[in-house]
Structure 1
């Protein structure tokens, strides 16, 4: 992803502190950086919460530099004509924060009790920054709960107070922000699912962190990165095509999908694959489904396979798997087709395993699955949701989601796309794990069949020559962004998987234009 490091790297609190220390050691005064950051915050507040609609602003101020940022913002909003009130939430402020407190009082900004802020139109949370290490408890916790009960819009500076910067979990209790302006670099905890109820809309305020300081602290093999959706789509899609190209140059994808019980999954995966622009699409289904699938996907080569008594694919006998550039296996397959999953793995063709393709290789179904996967030479992509991931890697789910995913990739050497409100894609790069977070999604994707569309898209991109990591990242971003676009047009309730699949190409046209 060709973007500046500062726009994509994800850091811990300790890493951010180390980078800031290098900035200060280089000669940048703390006070100067605070002024710069606060002015950028003030500019963004003016855009998000204009004065005519939000004239009364309450400042929640802590004792550290986060509180100092808030006090500078309070000063600027006061000079712009807003009715600003400040509530100091903590005793004993740091020296720079004390200086700004004195100035705010000198220019007539009132300091008030917490209850006097409940008539405000907007609250600014500047209580705790990324350095919080203890739980919020006692009177302060009660204050947080009171603030949350007011239903006043809250803008959090850097991260909502009470949220752990690295893990994204709540330390006792936390402010539920409407909007969060992350300062400098993306903080790890803000990109984890459990933080979502607290951060609201998340943005980054860039204060021109020098790239050399980022590299000095993180090195050149840093594992955690945030995808920029627009940059990603414009960089990779649509895949360039020479004028003399023909269908066999654009990849031949095989879908091994469907059963009598889950016939729709085969169709949805096919629609996702078609949207990717793959040159040739073959679909292996139980023979009883052949005419149904052909009626819905007439441009595909539909292969009727021998089936079990339960209506699952019994085997891929007679099918030359070596002629395909990629295979997607598992969507709607059912557990009665476990032997078919083994055939696709043994073929060593670039492979996407989804749904029952993953369940078939779980430790319960096959205790030796890790050893078998490591013997493959061609790319392998897993696309589990949380439950499937837990079945595949039961020993890893005691750690947090990011750590668990990185450990799983180190174990099985596959590219893993872990679905969720913060979909994550991890893989080995130069034998070291790298993890990218897709930062934007929508509840509209919480529909049965959405994942089948995604699996087909990944397979289609893989068959056309994208790497396994790029196929997974690009498909995840395209899938989620198209769903967001469609939800904006129709509402969340209107994004069913069929509609989503048909919206993929129209959405891409708007991105490319």
Structure 2
């Protein structure tokens, strides 16, 4: 896992104070990181008469200063041009621009940028705005960035792509990077859903000291959350031999109006290690449910159930949801996954207030909107639920301690407040192939399987979410995946 910060300005300042580094030294290291990224995939050609063409887009602040610093490091090995979006303004930007000019770097004003400059460009480096950007672009800047985005070359963003705001929202015409080299530590804005299509691959650069020293330079609790990595995945492998199917728990899946959703969740649960899975048809016909040989079917929740998942395909029948709420309250040892239609249930708030622990909720933004409204946490638009997902997930978890929230999206958020500390994890591995009916049912079944295997709710949510996303990366076609393809890919992890 890697730490995420809302803002790294305090870390920059404490790093300078703690280790005696100057802002200029840190800037040289930032430029060196950009230089390394360029030299590694773009080594010098043996033909010095045809150097690769690089455009560096510079603003007037310290982000622009990074670009000027980079330009003089590349000056004689590449055909480098500085595109000045604004004149240098900050003291360091003025100094670095003067140094670049003395080194003979070509300066081009934005309005003088020619078709030739873009047509034969190999690399564009965005150093216009840093993480302090707010507001909107002016018309000329937006038009110029649109031209850059259409250019078929490799694009690198310094710190954050220009147009990405601190809160993770994106301005119209934002720079679209293939690679973002962020400085010092990872920022939360890089992992908003809106940012996913503009940041490309994200790398973190050291600024003169090891990243751990940089992050430890400030004793204040500045960490906003944790970024999950593939290495954090701990699959439910069976290490003990003297076991039986009961050793791995019994999952009950409520079947309702759309029976296929329950069947998908049940199949996912059995494939993710649950010892037994029963489809419960209390409020629907048994017809069609007995064609899955690996799943049992019952009109009642089995006596030895360890985890219950409901809501997927259940329908908007209030009485059905309330019956499951009441059952769970009277069986406090049974953990549960609440998904889909159950997110709209009027009785959800009262249930969450009474059920002390063992609850995982797995909404997408529209369902989360309904949860927030039903739980008297505010009447938000779906867009607000997407743009403010980190803040709203924390608001929900603090209202309902010891409940685990899995807020699905391009970068899924997993949040939990244990009564003392709020914990937030971001899963960056989601792929567009998961945007299909049935994918969420698979995830709910996987979480239920881990709960039945006696995992804690937060651990189960993290493991299932990672496995779900990483399995999707094994699907070659971005549109043809089915839920059963996804389940099959689980066995390949």
Q: Same fold (TM over 0.5)?
A: yes
Q: How many residues are aligned here?
A: 468
Q: Distance in 2 between matches of 1:128 and 1:284?
A: 55
Structure 2 residue 35 is matched with structure 1 residue 46: no
Kept in 2, the 8 Å contact 1:266–1:293? The answer is: no
Q: Distance in 1 between matches of 2:224 and 2:261?
A: 34
Correspondence for 2:408 among 419, 422, 437: 419
Match of residue 451 from structure 2 = 462
Structure 2 residue 307 is matched with structure 1 residue 326: yes
**1:242-298 CA-partner distances (Å, limit 9, x unpaired):** 232332222222222x33x412112210121122112222221359764633332x2
Match of residue 163 from structure 2 = 162
Match of residue 350 from structure 1 = 335
- 5 Å-filtered alignment, 1:2-151, equals 3=1, 8-13=2-7, 16-26=8-18, 27-49=20-42, 55-79=52-76, 81-114=77-110, 115-116=113-114, 117-119=117-119, 120-151=121-152
For the structure 1 residues 48 and 284, does the alpha-carbon distance in structure 2 shift closer, same or farther, using more than 3 Å as the test? Answer: farther
Point out where structure 1 has 5 or more consecutive residues left out of the alignment: 306-315, 509-513
Correspondence for 1:409 among 391, 397, 405: 397
Match of residue 278 from structure 2 = 282
Kept in 2, the 8 Å contact 1:370–1:411? The answer is: no
Q: Distance in 2 between matches of 1:51 and 1:356?
A: 58
For the structure 1 residues 239 and 223, does the alpha-carbon distance in structure 2 shift closer, same or farther, using more than 3 Å as the test? Answer: farther
For the structure 1 residues 376 and 247, does the alpha-carbon distance in structure 2 shift closer, same or farther, using more than 3 Å as the test? Answer: same
**1:386-425 CA-partner distances (Å, limit 9, x unpaired):** 1111111131535711111111111233211111111111
Q: Distance in 2 between matches of 1:288 and 1:326?
A: 20
Offset at 1:344? 3.9
Kept in 1, the 8 Å contact 2:268–2:445? The answer is: yes
Correspondence for 1:392 among 362, 371, 389: 371
Q: Distance in 2 between matches of 1:49 and 1:267?
A: 50
Q: Distance in 2 between matches of 1:86 and 1:220?
A: 39
Q: Distance in 1 between matches of 2:235 and 2:201?
A: 27
Kept in 2, the 8 Å contact 1:386–1:419? The answer is: yes
Instruction: Name the SS of the counterpart of 2:281 in structure 1.
Output: strand
Kept in 1, the 8 Å contact 2:267–2:295? The answer is: no
Kept in 1, the 8 Å contact 2:75–2:104? The answer is: no
Instruction: Name the SS of the counterpart of 1:160 in structure 2.
Output: coil
For the structure 1 residues 213 and 158, does the alpha-carbon distance in structure 2 shift closer, same or farther, using more than 3 Å as the test? Answer: closer
Match of residue 437 from structure 2 = 448
Correspondence for 2:261 among 241, 265, 269: 265
Correspondence for 1:250 among 228, 248, 251: 248
Match of residue 241 from structure 1 = 239
Match of residue 380 from structure 1 = 359
Q: Distance in 1 between matches of 2:219 and 2:452?
A: 34
More divergent stretch after superposition (63-72 vs 418-427): 63-72
Normalized per residue, which structure has more helix? 1
Match of residue 481 from structure 2 = 495
Instruction: Name the SS of the counterpart of 2:430 in structure 1.
Output: coil
Kept in 2, the 8 Å contact 1:268–1:453? The answer is: yes
Cα RMSD over matched residues? 2.6
Kept in 2, the 8 Å contact 1:222–1:434? The answer is: no
Instruction: Name the SS of the counterpart of 2:21 in structure 1.
Output: coil
Offset at 1:342? 2.5
Offset at 1:199? 2.0
Correspondence for 1:370 among 349, 353, 372: 349
Instruction: Name the SS of the counterpart of 1:384 in structure 2.
Output: coil
Q: Distance in 2 between matches of 1:222 and 1:105?
A: 39
Offset at 1:113? 2.9
**1:94-148 CA-partner distances (Å, limit 9, x unpaired):** 3333333233222322112331432312210011111224543254344334433
Instruction: Name the SS of the counterpart of 1:377 in structure 2.
Output: coil
